Amino acid sequence: MLDKVLVANRGEIAVRVIRACRELGIRSVAVYSEADRHAVHVLGADEAVLLGPAPAAESYLRVDRILDAARERGCDGVHPGYGFLAERAPFARAVEEAGLVFVGPSADAIEAMGDKTRARQAMMDAGVPVVPGTAHALADAQDAAAVAEEVGYPVMLKAAAGGGGKGMRVVYESKELASAFESASREALGAFGDGSVYIERFLEGPRHIEIQVLADNHGNIIHLGERECSIQRRHQKMIEEAPSPVVTGPLRDRMGHAAVAAARAVGYRNAGTVEFLYQDGEFYFLEMNTRIQVEHPVTELVTGIDLVRWQLRVAAGEVLTVRQEDVGWTGHAIECRITSEDPYRGFLPSAGRIELLQPPGGPGVRWDGGVQEGDEVSLYYDPLLAKLVVHAATREAAMDRMVRALGELRVVGVETSAPFHRRVLLEPDFRSGDLDIRYIDQHPELLEREVTLATAQSLAVTAALLAEEDRQRRTARRAERGASSTTSRWRDMGWR
């Protein structure tokens, strides 16, 4: 087993890894920026090292400082979490060249799956179904036009070097292709330093379903079933659940077999996720995330398998003792990403001091949080504050439990996405499982501010308080001029 692990991340995933380390008897080292000096992950680790100023480019993305910290504190492993440096092959390679264990896949596997066109070719060679399109970067707009005619419109242009919605354009007609190609390439260059794009047929309304895989260094690979991730905004997931409402046992077996084949094709080790698009009974490889996923807790809750513990055990060279036939799925789990964003103002980031934080509790409720009362939420980092996860015997019971949990959550000081999540969990189409990646666009009413009786009462009381404050200021000014008044608006109007 590893002796001491540096966690090269922040927020809730850093807290999650530190807790797993403590359970396994591994000492942990946190790293932090000046903005995170008193953060939860810093307080929870055995040791902590300051990396630099608040901007990530001067702290969490400084590979040299992270490696220096690992060496100085006597670490033998580095866990990258997700985001920041987690899927950067040069970082994984630098960790290994420094004589440390990278808790994740090899740099070669990260590179193979990070290059989307290379990954598509590898999947085709392994017999994994892919969306019709190219397995190479397009030379120019003319090349794109020729491929689009062959594949058939609508098509999607996608960045070859990355994901997350960057460098992605949907094209419905040939006359739109040239400008879309130029803008996608330009955005890809800015986001990933590589302007290469490829093309594939655009599926109008697929579901986004992913398969969790787990592999050791001894050739053993298993899958842990699927997660439904179709509730997205601008290609960013917002609500995830396991199992998917539409996946049957035979379909799970087929998708799981394809995911294992995909992992084996690139010599994968550790935890990873193979993402598919699903439509009309067929599924197609989308990409592989070569790291632990934000939504991993829903898989943990339905399978009973601790993924982060296994990440650390596999990195230490242990053999995966869980066989495919040992994996079972019990009940239903749902995760809501609680972010510091205002859903009624286009999800604008919300910064400020968290004056009050009361997480929900009770049976089947899990709160993976990265903040506490008194923390300052800045605009320097991802807005994810915590993950609220529930588990129950059935999907209906899980939805009801999540609604209850969201109703108990109290956050004062910043706006959060919680009201949006609650409205989704109550919406008839979601409850029936009738959803795909267009769900939010098809339900714009979910993003309209909801004025309830309680909200109206709160606004009325606030208005009364402001009016009284204004009256007192005017009374004080009159008193200064010798025209004092002893009347009270509260007595006159019956306020209490």
Annotated catalytic sites, by residue? 291
Name the pLDDT band for 293 (thresholds 50, 70, 90): very high
Q: Is the peptide bond before 206 cis (omega within 30 degrees of 0)?
A: no
Which H or E run includes 159?
A: strand 155-159
Please state, rounded to an integer, the average pLDDT across all residues of the chain: 94
Query: Which of 20-24, 164-168, 397-401, 492-496 is predicted with the least confidence, judged by mean pLDDT?
Result: 492-496
pLDDT (0 to 100) of residue 492: 53
Name the pLDDT band for 496 (thresholds 50, 70, 90): low
Name the pLDDT band for 481 (thresholds 50, 70, 90): confident
Both tokens assigned to 393: 């015997």
Query: Average pLDDT, stretch 77-98?
Result: 97
Does the pLDDT value for residue 454 go beyond 80? Answer: no
Does the pLDDT value for residue 76 go beyond 80? Answer: yes
3-state secondary structure of 9: coil
pLDDT, tens digit, for every residue of 376-393? 999 999 999 999 999 999
pLDDT (0 to 100) of residue 240: 98
Cα separation, 291 vs 315, in Å, equals 13
Q: In this structure, which long-range contacts are made by residues 69-72, counting pairs with CB atoms below 8 Å and at least 24 apart in sequence?
A: 69/6, 69/29, 69/31, 70/6, 70/29, 70/95, 70/98, 70/100, 71/98
Does the pLDDT value for residue 464 go beyond 90? Answer: no
pLDDT (0 to 100) of residue 404: 98
pLDDT (0 to 100) of residue 41: 98
Between the CA of residue 27 and those of 12, 100, 182, 194, what are the distances in Å?
18, 15, 49, 38
Name the pLDDT band for 476 (thresholds 50, 70, 90): confident
Name the pLDDT band for 416 (thresholds 50, 70, 90): very high
pTM over cut 0.85: yes
pLDDT (0 to 100) of residue 324: 98
Contact present, 393 and 450 (Cβ < 8 Å): no
pLDDT, tens digit, for every residue of 360-371? 999 999 999 999
Query: Which of 102-111, 152-161, 238-247, 255-264 is predicted with the least confidence, judged by mean pLDDT?
Result: 152-161
